[in-house]
Structure 1
Amino acid sequence: MNFVSLMCIIGLAGFTIATEDNYVCEHETFHIKCAVGQMISVSSAVYGRQKSNVCTNGPNPQTNNCAAVNSLKLVQDQCEGRETCDIQASNGVFQDPCVGTFKYLEIVYSCKDYVCEHDTLHLECAVGQTISVSSALYGRQKSNVCTNGPNPQTNNCAAVNSLKLVQDQCEGHETCDIQASNGVFGDPCVGTFKYLEIEYSCEDAEIDDDSYVCEHETFQLKCAVGQTISVSSALYGRQTPNVCSTNGPIETNNCAAVDSLTRVQEQCEGKKHVTSRQAMVYLVIHV
């Protein structure tokens, strides 16, 4: 989030996914769990042995180069699109790719946010962070997601502009709401009940060297001729450790005055030029 965000309006002034990489040893159960409103997306899976330093509590391995060829498909079939999943690392599930070798199951997966067609997906990051969208799909590619609508005609459709539309609307914002609808994405498969899935992360907001002032300094806001200041957000306090870090003592990086936005808007909104001296920990402005 930009701690203070400023736009110059032309004319009369007329806005988790965390990816897990884990393993369990042979005979153990791999438990995957996403938060409510998220679904599992498996990117890779290996049952066998490809590392010598994993699961060393069994008999000496005969090889470090074996993998069940159906590892990924079996895990995806059992876990993809679900909120939780348990899968056993055993020869009974995957068959035995290397007899006599103590094996393990390694799965790389992410938890994707999703909503069914006609619903709205809400993305949110913590204060001081912004949304970074890595993947998005509006359509249908899984049969076990959003089964509360009419029977799908296909499980292989996606709006080609899914990622771009979500990035255009959400990238760089602290929060974002986007509707899963044909009106937003177009209809990639007429007659099929669709869903919107998004994978995103929250990244620390970048702050330019000239976009803030420290306590006791003066901040000058200025728009070009024919433009006026419009303040959409403001923070008075400290929530980023690397801003104004050498100017004075820091006891916390989690404080903000609740009236930050109101005070800045009262002093600056609608004006062409403002020179403001504020007593604050720091003030960040993006023009």
Structure 2
Amino acid sequence: MLCFRLSTTLLLAATCSLMTAVSTEKAITCGSDGNVQRLSCDDGVISVQTALYGRADAVTCSEGRPPAQLSNTHCSQAGTVDVVKKRCDGKRECELNINVFYTSDPCYGTYKYLETTYTCIPAIHLDACEGSLAQLQCDQGQVIFVYGADYGRRDQTTCIYQRPPNQVQIIYCSRPTRKVADSCNGKNSCTIAASNSVFGDPCVGTYKYLEVAYICYSIRQRQFLIQQNCSLLTGSFKTMLRLRLSTTLLLAATCSLMTAGKLSEVSLERAITCGCEGNVQRLSCDAGVITVLTALYGRADAVTCSEGIPPSLLANTQCSQVGTVDVVKKGCDGKNECKLNINVFFTSDPCYGIFKYLDTTYTCFPTFHLVACEGSLAQLQCDQGQVIFVYNANYGRLDQTTCIYQRPPEELQNIQCLSPAPEVADSCNGENSCTIAASNFVFGDPCYGTYKYLEVVYICEYPGTTPLP
């Protein structure tokens, strides 16, 4: 992982200087009953540009459909973009069940789909649990502009520590609010309580949280942005910052560091877990994905994990289990985070009577991370002149938080459903862009009755370059 952080100030400055590098994301979800569309931003928050529920061509979501269901290519439901914007603008990720558009039918007999285009705008994202204070803060000389704020609950993972299950079950409880903007816009810092007394109670009995997306800007930046026709404040911010600093830029930064001989600026992460039964090692990347470099299960010195351990159990410092790095790489490479229970290494003992530990070094490699819910189309895209290299792809389900909006609970229970998807690499490697359906027809069905998703990690590279392992 590169040892630098792009501050909000720099992101804002980069926004207008990189107007020609606007990155627009597209999500397409076929209109089968219950299918879920997922929008997400690795950095910043979502700004929905367009949304179509209907049909604009005879090719999209056409697999297995009779021509009569594809013939009307001028079909669109009014108000679709407003529905998607209300749900998704200002959030890092959001999900929409296709069923929400079944209130009317813009073209009876035509097989429809939901197509959304959006950008990821740089923003600071803040969550404050109910009963806490949300503190918005900018650097000296800067002021706050709130892009979006919601009070309620949208998932079962935020603000749940030691809360009873009945208080976190309702996840369709989220109410947009302008009160944060009214209180904080134009101030250098601002504190607001995440409480029912301020925002009302959108779902009685549910433990809620306040979610805020905001930026910091200076008066000088505002003047510059206006001069460059970026319109920071006029137009209620809708025309502002419609780009994202894509992973391509991070990759370019990585390459420039390497070609400049600045490998010392690349950060190596290290995790050490002592070998007590049940201990768990966690690797994680704030940005990019894990690339495991080395892994030792055994003992290489007499100091690591030695507290309270008799010297006789530390004596062998030439102890290592063969194949450890392969086990860790298989479990962690290409993921944002992973967890390994020390028990997986108990299958053999490289040095009986020695107290062992797991010592892993890894880097965080900048990548594109894409998730397409079952029934959607995954679209991999690189800049002109670059081609795709798929780093990792899986089809199935590994959690109960992804692609879940309005799905029945029984379709989300199996989280041990992982099937490698080499078809993505076979179809997309070496291409500038690639579309592949997240469906059982393409990948088979690794867990019948479970609603699945396709997860892809890929990079964009210039032809002839060698990707990292």
- Check whether TM > 0.5: no
Select the structure of larger CA radius of gyration: 1
For CA contacts below 8 A with separation 6 or more, give which structure has more relative contact order: 1
The structure that is strand-richer by fraction is 1
Calculate the TM-score normalised by the size of structure 1.
0.39
Q: Give the number of the structure whose residues are more often helix, by fraction.
A: 2
